[in-house]
Structure 1
Amino acid sequence: MYLARYQAEGKTRYAIRESYPDDDMFRSRDLIDLGEDPGAFLRYPGGNAFYVHEAIEDQLRSLHVTYDMDELDEVFWAFVRPDIQKAQAYFRRRGASGANHPTDDPSENLNFHLFDRRRVHFLRFGQTDQGRIGMASPKLFKGLARKSRDEIEQHFMLSEQILKPHELKSYVFVIFDIQRHFSEHFARSMPQGLDQNAVDTLFVQDICRLNRDDRFWADLRLKNHLHEYLVRYLVTFFDNDYGRSGYLEDLLQSWMNSRRGFRFPERKPAVSFKEAGSIFGISEDEMRRLSKKELSRLFRRKAQEMHPDKGGDHDAFIHLADAYREIKNKKK
């Protein structure tokens, strides 16, 4: 079992789901809808204890779901009162250290999609250079074993919360392996030194490619628009800049100075509010009045409408992303 978070009618809702084997893959199914606040199903009898309301156990039994209480507690753990979490943290760590993993078969872990392996590797080590990922221990990926695609994506949505703001764009650059398109020796370690116009174009191509990968989506059906599990990467990439590093900047500057013919990539002309309004399909005044949150919401909607996989023009999609980034930076 696992806790799934999803959007419905503009609100964040939660459900208990489970992954189950079906022939050669794992599928997911809804078990119990928890509404907008899973914490409403928790009870505190006193001291540092808590338990899940009996109604949840009754529903699981009626569905013939096999589980243990630790598994059920884990589903609701994020919504347990902070003081109870703090009091039980030590005992949870001790229990986790001796927990049995779902599989210890290295061959099963090696079959994981490379996109998943890149995500696990970056979240564990924070390295932009994954040239040695093929040598990583299979144990690193065992947490993804015997899970449906939906459960894996829910897992990453939660795991990615540890990323710091300056890591976000580099994370997307790495997990989509954009560096493979470039011959520059620093492509693996300093993506900010590459031609960003080319990087943007290649990222759109790669996210479209993953969107069409039936092996990756497995039990989830392919869609004719950008999958909701990929939208966050689109927004993260165009909504953030690479983290600044004095060491990296000095190293890049030294490399540039050693090559007299080096030139910075030509900068794109600034996008005006009028031009951005035309791209987004609203007036200049409306564009000026949008808050950052409203602009981000509009970008998400337009990005799905104009996505190349939905028949949109590739160049128009890039212009949309550029306009969004320019206007966002102009707003307070």
Structure 2
Amino acid sequence: MYLARLRQQGKCRYFLRESYLTPEMTWYYRDLMDLGTSPEAYIEYYGGNSFSVSQKLLDSLEEMGCDIDGEGLETLLWDFVDPEVRHCVEHFRTRSMKQKSRSKEDTLSPAAEFHPFDCRRIYYLKYGNKNTAAFHRISPRPFQWLKEKSRDEIEHRFMAEEAVIRPTELKAYIFACLGLDRHFMSPFYQTYPAAIPQEEADAAFLNDICELNQDASFWLGMPAKAALSPYLIRYVIMFFDHMYPRPRFAEHMFNAFMNRHRHHHRPPPRQQMPVHDALALLGLEAVDPSTLTRRQLSRVFRKKAQEFHPDAGGNHEAFIRLAAAYQDLKAQLFSA
């Protein structure tokens, strides 16, 4: 069961729908209930932060023989819950959702079983990666929600998830999801699609969107259409009504130049101080190094450090030499 949103006469109207499998093993969808323009009317409050889906809605669905999931219905209508209540219970709801068990790895279907356009959209929305051709190399788990759903249900979920994309990203999003970079072999164009000549980019987009519109495998379970599908019209708007983010060519070229010519040199290792010099700095020149214990050395160093520390009025350079002497003695006398 899912919530479908349709725009009619300038207003959004909401429908409860469900996907179902036909005897021909094709997933179709059907309307269960028209919620009108105000789905919040089907939410009841009981005081405090408690709420639930109205009994009227539950009874109507039960009369239709639907398998009712109260928690699932609350999730569908979550955006219409009173904002103050939503803010108070969000933490508990999120924690409850995290505790739900996940499907086992051996039940996952590989990405190759799903349409590439769906996989590219999921890959971009999850990782924000424009190189959507790599979707087949990741775990198949992100694609599993596509299973056992009609095309209508899938598209409504994508519409909800695409709502969070910033306007400056929309054109890059559809460029990546359609895989338009395959039409342009230049690595520069693949990195900066804004540099592609406008007519060539438009032609590639229109070609691919028309091919997708005629792809029967993509539209299984949907009624025949004589024109461009309403589900694809939004992508036409994304592509032609938005611009790519302005690339910073100068900054990119400068960074690329510096990275090509930058050499990283490790500083030469510091030469260890001779044992007798290090002992002298610690005031232990009269001590036989072979009889010195680690504890004795540490005690002497702490006492000297209090004397030479800059915070106690000591000299900074002298303190650095003292610390170096201590480290060198430890390395030479106790490293074995």
Normalising by structure 2, we get a TM-score of: 0.71
* Secondary structure of the corresponding residue to residue 162 of structure 1: coil
Of 109, 113, 120, which aligns to 1:111?
113
Once residues 252 and 67 of structure 1 are traced to their aligned partners in structure 2, the CA distance between those partners, rounded to angstroms, is 60
| 3-state SS in 2 of match to 1:20 | strand
CA separation of 1:245 and 1:228: change in aligned 2, threshold 3 A: same
Distance 2:26 2:70 in 1: 26
Once the two structures are TM-superposed, the CA of residue 9 in structure 1 deviates from its matched residue by: 3.2
Contact 2:122/2:142, CA 8 A, preserved across alignment: yes
Which deviates more from structure 2 when the two are superposed, residues 116-125 or residues 93-102?
A: 93-102
CA distance in 2 between counterparts of 1:248 and 1:67 reads 58
Give ranges in structure 1 of 5+ residues lacking alignment.
256-332
Residue 77 of structure 1 deviates from its aligned partner by 0.6
Which residue of structure 2 lines up, in the alignment, with residue 88 of structure 1?
89
C-alpha distance in structure 1 between counterparts of 2:218 and 2:104, whole Å: 21
Could you say which residue in structure 1 is the equivalent of 2:126?
A: 124
- Structure 2: distance between partners of 1:101 and 1:222: 36
1:95-106 mapped onto 2 (5 Å cutoff) = 95-100=96-101, 105-106=107-108
What are the ranges of 5 or more consecutive residues in structure 2 without an aligned counterpart? 258-336
Amino acid at match of 1:203: F
Q: Which moved more, 1:240-249 or 1:201-210?
A: 240-249
C-alpha distance in structure 1 between counterparts of 2:110 and 2:2, whole Å: 21
Once the two structures are TM-superposed, the CA of residue 173 in structure 1 deviates from its matched residue by: 0.6
Tell me what 1:30 maps to. Answer: 31
Tell me which amino acid in the other structure corresponds to 1:50.
Answer: F
Q: Are residues 31 and 146 of structure 1, via their aligned partners in 2, closer, same or farther at CA, if it must alter by over 3 Å?
A: same
Q: CA deviation at 1:29?
A: 0.7
Q: 1:163 maps to which residue?
A: 165
Instruction: State the match for 1:279 in structure 2.
Output: none
Q: Secondary structure at the match of 1:186?
A: helix
Aligned positions of 1:257-276 closer than 5 A: none
Q: Give the SS at the match of 1:188.
A: helix
Counterpart of 2:150 (choices 148, 151, 169) is 148
CA distance in 1, matches of 2:130, 2:28: 32
Q: Is the 8 A contact 2:212 2:218 kept in 1?
A: yes
Q: Deviations over 1:224-262 (max 9, x none)?
A: 11111111110111111001243686349989xxxxxxx
The residue aligned with 1:15 is: 15
Aligned length: 255
Q: Which residue of 1 aligns with 2:312?
A: none
1:236-255 equivalence runs, <5 A: 236-246=238-248, 250-251=252-253
CA offset at residue 156 of structure 1? 0.3
Same amino acid, percent of matched pairs: 37
Q: Is the 8 A contact 2:49 2:88 kept in 1?
A: yes
- 2:274 maps to what in 1? none
- Over alpha carbons, which structure has the higher Rg? 2
Q: Distance in 1 between matches of 2:200 and 2:251?
A: 20
CA separation in 1, counterparts of 2:161 and 2:230?
17
Match of 2:40 in 1: 39
